[in-house]
């Protein structure tokens, strides 16, 4: 969010948290992109704030609540609903102090993801399909006004790669997925790993989720199709490369990464 929007979003989060009965005097920004993530204090609650036009907050809350009921390793909600203030939607979550131990071992990561997937098989909610994400990337690539710095040859390569890899992944056994279970979305808490950020949930093969995890994790996950996993990793690389060429992308050093990842993608596929 731009600075002025972030200030208004912070005021909105403080207001709804106070109205919910929490003791809150200050907020620290933990992450700022299309959504603002805040640590509210002294109640020590995490707030996620998005523009009201964002339609993913309700789905995220619904999925997280059902996964928690199923005993899945997920971050706990403070309030079971989406809160609205001004032109923002706000969700309130338990803040987890990070464990001081090293990164989550691959076996522990795989075990937590396996338990998450087991819980997700019990969740019956309308959710996007992974091909919706591919279609959004394909639309971005096809529009030079949205990707003005993408050279024509790279534009054609990205479009063809997205199409080919999407077809190769489609038609496999599918279930509800986290969508982006990379290390940034897994917290190492004293009680074990927990997953956060369910706005990216989609349907697809479990290999699509594993493609976002560190490479060693798949060695400990049961029943992996490793050929499909390699294809999903290439598709994931094509997707994140596409986002870096969006003229509105705010990822740090995004353009340099877009160029580098295009080179990686050409070597991979």
Alpha helices in the chain (DSSP H): 3-19, 57-69, 106-120, 130-142, 152-169, 206-210, 226-244, 254-268
Average pLDDT, whole number, for the chain? Answer: 93
pLDDT of 141 over the 80 cut: yes
106-267, CATH topology level: Aminoglycoside 3'-phosphotransferase; Chain: A, domain 2 (3.90.1200)
pLDDT at 170: 96
Which CATH fold would you assign to the domain 3-94?
Phosphorylase Kinase; domain 1 (3.30.200)
pTM of the model: 0.91
Whether 74 shows a pLDDT value over 90: the answer reads yes
Sign of the dihedral defined by the CA atoms of residues 157, 163, 167, 169, in that order: positive
Query: Which residue intervals of the chain bear CATH 3.90.1200.10?
Result: 106-267
Cα–Cα distance between 175 and 123 in angstroms, integer? 10
User: Region 9-24: what's the mean pLDDT?
Assistant: 94
Task: For residue 179, give every residue at least 6 positions away whose Cβ sits within 8 Å of its Cβ, in sequence order, or none.
Answer: 130, 133, 198, 200, 201, 202, 209
């Amino acid at each position: 969010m731009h600075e002025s929007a972030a200030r208004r979003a912070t005021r909105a989060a403080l207001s709804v948290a106070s109205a919910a009965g929490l003791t809150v005097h200050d907020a620290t920004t933990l992450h700022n992109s299309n959504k603002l993530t805040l640590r509210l204090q002294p109640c020590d609650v995490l707030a996620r704030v998005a523009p009201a036009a964002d339609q993913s907050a309700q789905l995220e809350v619904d999925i997280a609540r059902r996964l928690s009921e199923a005993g899945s390793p997920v971050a706990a909600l403070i309030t079971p609903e989406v809160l609205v203030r001004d032109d923002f939607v706000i969700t309130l979550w338990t803040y987890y102090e990070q464990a001081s131990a090293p990164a989550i071992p691959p076996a522990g990561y795989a075990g937590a993801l396996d338990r998450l997937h087991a819980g997700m098989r019990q969740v019956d909610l309308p959710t996007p399909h992974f091909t919706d994400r591919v279609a959004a990337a394909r639309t971005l690539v096809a529009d030079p006004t949205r990707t003005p710095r993408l050279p024509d040859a790279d534009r054609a390569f990205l479009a063809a790669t997205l199409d080919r890899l999407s077809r190769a992944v489609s038609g496999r056994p599918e279930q509800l997925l986290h969508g982006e279970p990379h290390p940034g979305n897994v917290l190492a808490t004293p009680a074990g790993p927990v997953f956060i950020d369910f706005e990216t949930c989609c349907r697809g093969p479990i290999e699509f989720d594993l493609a976002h995890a560190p490479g060693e994790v798949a060695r400990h996950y049961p029943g992996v199709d490793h050929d499909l996993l390699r294809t999903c990793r290439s598709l994931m690389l094509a997707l994140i490369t596409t986002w870096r060429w969006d003229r509105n992308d705010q990822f740090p050093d995004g353009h340099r990464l877009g160029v580098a990842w295009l080179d990686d993608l050409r070597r991979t596929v």
